[in-house]
Structure 1
Amino acid sequence: MLKKLSIPVALIRVPVSRRRALNLDKVKDLAQNILANGQSTPIQIRTEGKGYILIEGYHRLEALRALGEENIDAYIVKARLH
């Protein structure tokens, strides 16, 4: 079972390939929802050195950054070998 942790936003790196998929309208809507209801779904990250790499939840991460939040709820997952 995955354990939800509070992770500093500043330690999470977004892969370049994911950055192209950002929808600013979706970020704005999520930010408003998070203000009203809190973060309901943690993002997924994996460890890399002293930081983390984003796996899932780019829009949630950017919404919390836009709100000025310092921490985000996250699950740490292990990378899968293909």
Structure 2
Amino acid sequence: MLKAVAIKIDDIYIPADRRKERDPARIESFAENIIDEVEVEPIRVRKGKDKNKYVLVRGVNRLEARKELGDETIFAYVVQALQR
């Protein structure tokens, strides 16, 4: 079972294909849920080439909502990169 860990938002890189998934309505909805203390599923990241950095795998709208609220950290599941 995955365990969520707190990660600094500034340490997360958002790939171009994830940036295309941004949806202002969903970001606002997630921000409202966070303010109302409704539990929001952690995002998914993988370790970057620099082991102190992460690459976003899933959850761009949740990440953007946290940024808009001024949060400095976010809970995330750290997953393995796909092997090709």
Q: Which has the higher strand share?
A: 1
Number of equivalences: 82
SS at match of 2:62: helix
- Is 2:60 the counterpart of 1:54? no
CA offset at residue 38 of structure 1? Answer: 4.7
Q: Which residue among 61, 76, 79 is the counterpart of 1:77?
A: 79
Cα deviation code 1:24-53 (max 9, x no counterpart): 111011101111025421100001112000
Identity, % of aligned pairs? 35
Contact 2:44–2:79 (CA under 8 A) maintained in structure 1: yes
Pairwise mapping of residues 32-71 of structure 1 onto structure 2 (< 5 A)? 32-48=32-48, 49=50, 50-71=52-73
Contact 2:44–2:59 (CA under 8 A) maintained in structure 1: yes
In the aligned structure 2, how far is the partner of 1:35 from the partner of 1:25? Answer: 15
Contact 1:14–1:54 (CA under 8 A) maintained in structure 2: yes
- Structure 2 residues not aligned, in runs of 5+: none
Large movers: runs of 4+ above 2 Å: none
- Structure 1 residues not aligned, in runs of 5+: none
SS at match of 1:65: helix
In the aligned structure 2, how far is the partner of 1:67 from the partner of 1:38? Answer: 15
| Structure 2 equivalent of residue 5 of structure 1 | 5
Distance 1:55 1:67, change over 3 A: same
In the aligned structure 2, how far is the partner of 1:22 from the partner of 1:3? Answer: 25
